[in-house]
Chain A
Amino acid sequence: MSELGWQGYERQDGRKGIRNLLLVIYTVQCAEFVAHEVARGEPDAHVIGFPGCYDNAYAIRLMLALAWHPNVGGVLAIGLGCEYTQPARIAEAVRESGRPAAAFFIQDRGGTSSSIAVGKDMLASMRRSIAEVPRVAMNWSDLVVGCECGGSDGTSGLAGNPVVGRFFDHLVDRCGTAIFEEIVEMIGLREVLAARGRTPAVAAQLEAAYDKAERYCRSVRQYSISPGNFAGGLTTIEEKSMGAFSKSGSRAIEGVIRVAEPPSAPGLWLLDSVPDESFMQFGYTNPNDTEGIMDLISAGAHIVLFVTGRGSVIGSPIAPLIKITGNSGTFKRMPDDIDFNAGCVLDGSKTLDDAAAALGELVEDVARGAMTKPEALGHREYFIMYKHQDTPSLAEGCRA
């Protein structure tokens, strides 16, 4: 990992991005088609949206956190016209961050074709505006990297996740910020997790987050383990947990953040995406890998590392996804999709340190602008759903 750094994009709110993107947000499923048509053929325009007609504080907070992401330069919010979630209020909040933003209702613009034309004009205007965003020097201390695993198999805990864990150690040692999540994949590890807290207060936070996750899994009677995990050799959630936890590396955990909450300082942070107990007793904590990746991006991750033993083809909007496997067979079978083979530590051809250093070089290349494989393929999967978390407003910042 070099100490030289690279050129990023400086936002008016002081954050530094590694991409300069336009974000199209739809506020109900009825506006989804128009939003995607507006972004079609515009490689710098990514789409996210919320399907529900009834609004949800968690989903709005998540969309705003994504709109304010350092990789995003401007935002276009599109609604149908009947729904509770208000595109104009999203645009207004985004403008307060110094970014250009626009909004409209499809019903006000005469339907599909005219809305697509209006939306494309708005994007073109914002693109001209964000082309002027000043460049700024960035280095590891400015970088936030998230990590998630999915499609795990018996190699994930032996190679893929440990290599990420070692890279996270290197990143934290260079004053960077590392975020890991999936507390529901720490079931069985209460003591192991608490022992990693920087202070007794952080250990208590970690225990509280763990206890909530265990209550949650018991009450929904679903643990975070899938048929593919079992087929890949993982027998129990406890076994998957130890493998998943190894992506956190070995450094002290600074605190617990919630969805849409950026860490308040550099270092290693745990993201709690489990719903809080409320009247909304429905939904799963991370119903799929994409939902978890969105949570990491909402906390400000510039880049997300995704470890997949069995092989996943997903990507992500806003923050590039780097796909890593510890399974050399998967790497050979899916060469277009997987960015990094950590299987070299299993056949003994590389040490964990060497593999983590090679991963660090790849992360730096991507921060400089190199496209990851899912990014180049155009994968932009997103998922925003109804959930409840007792989180203060974004302006109030992190509680840790």
Chain B
Amino acid sequence: MNDEIALRVVMMTEGFQIDIADNVATLLGDAEAGMVRLRGQSAVQEIRLTQPIKTGHKVALCTLESGAAIVKYGVVIGEATRSIGVGEWVHLHNCRSRYDAQSSTLNIETGTREETPYV
């Protein structure tokens, strides 16, 4: 039983926070909703994901109001387009570029442009 728990702890997906100022962390593996251990420059040991998040994608480390700056690498990488809860997936559906207007119009799973005609 203890071995099983130990194995689950070892297998637990990790998130990586690059800079202490960041309000998002990057998943290092596909994760289900639940606890994820944090590595890197993180003030806390772990965070509870409120939904599944894929590898390479971002989780909010604190509650972010609409319009709030999203910070990764210690720099602003975009802004929240609506309120984002702690543990929530941060991507095209709730975060937009401050330069690139198309970023909030794309398919959130595939990133493809849906308005491009194929006829």
A contacts, CB < 8 Å to B: 153-155, 157-158, 187-189, 192, 214, 217-218, 221, 223, 225-239, 242-243, 246, 309, 327, 329, 346-348
Q: Contact at A154–B111, with CB atoms within 8 Å?
A: no
Q: List 26 A-B contacts (CB under 8 A).
A: A153-B55, A153-B56, A154-B55, A154-B56, A155-B28, A155-B55, A158-B28, A188-B77, A192-B75, A214-B99, A217-B100, A221-B101, A223-B103, A226-B111, A230-B110, A235-B70, A235-B90, A236-B70, A236-B96, A237-B99, A237-B100, A239-B73, A239-B77, A242-B73, A327-B55, A329-B55
Q: Of A192, A228, A237, A347, which is within 8 A of B111 by CB?
A: A228
Q: Of A232, A237, A347, which is within 8 A of B97 by CB?
A: A237
Tell me the residues in window 52-110 of chain B with beta carbons closer than 8 Å to chain A beta carbons: 54-58, 70, 72-73, 75-78, 90-92, 95-103, 106-107, 109-110
Shortest Cβ distance from A310 into B: residue: B56
Q: Contact at A223–B100, with CB atoms within 8 Å?
A: yes
Shortest Cβ distance from B29 into A: residue: A329
Chain A residues with Cβ below 8 Å from B36 are: none
Q: Contact at A227–B106, with CB atoms within 8 Å?
A: yes
Q: Contact at B103–A237, with CB atoms within 8 Å?
A: yes
Q: Of A236, A327, A329, which is within 8 A of B95 by CB?
A: A236
Q: Contact at A309–B56, with CB atoms within 8 Å?
A: yes
B116 CB, nearest partner CB in chain A, Å = 11
Q: Of A214, A233, A309, A327, which is within 8 A of B58 by CB?
A: A233
Q: Contact at B55–A233, with CB atoms within 8 Å?
A: yes
A104 CB, nearest partner CB in chain B, Å = 43
Chain B residues with Cβ below 8 Å from A227 are: 106-107, 110-113
Q: Contact at B110–A231, with CB atoms within 8 Å?
A: yes
Q: Contact at A230–B92, with CB atoms within 8 Å?
A: yes
Tell me the residues in window 17-67 of chain B with beta carbons closer than 8 Å to chain A beta carbons: 18, 26-28, 39, 54-58
Question: In whole angstroms, what is the CA distance A223 to B113 when docked?
Answer: 13
Given A230-B110, A231-B111, 18 extra CB contacts under 8 A: A154-B57, A155-B55, A158-B16, A188-B76, A188-B98, A218-B99, A221-B101, A223-B97, A227-B111, A233-B26, A233-B54, A233-B57, A235-B70, A235-B95, A236-B99, A236-B100, A237-B100, A243-B73
Question: In whole angstroms, what is the CA distance A347 to B14 when docked?
Answer: 9
Q: Contact at A221–B98, with CB atoms within 8 Å?
A: no
Q: A233-B56, A238-B76, A239-B77 are in contact. Are A225 and B100 (CB under 8 A)?
A: yes
Q: Contact at B27–A154, with CB atoms within 8 Å?
A: yes
Chain A residues with Cβ below 8 Å from B111 are: 226-231
A-B residue pairs, 8 tightest by C-beta: A154-B56, A230-B111, A233-B56, A236-B97, A227-B111, A233-B57, A239-B77, A242-B73
Q: Of A192, A232, A246, which is within 8 A of B56 by CB?
A: A232
A258 CB, nearest partner CB in chain B, Å = 24
Q: Contact at B100–A242, with CB atoms within 8 Å?
A: no
Q: Contact at B99–A158, with CB atoms within 8 Å?
A: no
Chain B residues with Cβ below 8 Å from A232 are: 56
Question: In whole angstroms, what is the CA distance A239 to B58 when docked?
Answer: 11
Shortest Cβ distance from A326 into B: residue: B56
Chain A residues with Cβ below 8 Å from B102 are: 221, 223
Question: In whole angstroms, what is the CA distance A228 to B107 when docked?
Answer: 11
Chain A residues with Cβ below 8 Å from B26 are: 154, 158, 233
Chain B residues with Cβ below 8 Å from A346 are: 16, 28
Q: Contact at B73–A157, with CB atoms within 8 Å?
A: yes
Question: In whole angstroms, what is the CA distance A347 to B111 when docked?
Answer: 27
Q: Contact at A242–B57, with CB atoms within 8 Å?
A: no
Chain B residues with Cβ below 8 Å from A188 are: 75-77, 98-99
Chain B residues with Cβ below 8 Å from A189 are: 75
B79 CB, nearest partner CB in chain A, Å = 9
Question: In whole angstroms, what is the CA distance A237 to B55 when docked?
Answer: 19
Chain A residues with Cβ below 8 Å from B100 are: 187, 217, 223, 225, 236-237
Chain B residues with Cβ below 8 Å from A327 are: 55-56
Question: In whole angstroms, what is the CA distance A228 to B92 when docked?
Answer: 13
Shortest Cβ distance from A157 into B: residue: B73
Question: In whole angstroms, what is the CA distance A224 to B56 when docked?
Answer: 18
Question: In whole angstroms, what is the CA distance A235 to B75 when docked?
Answer: 14
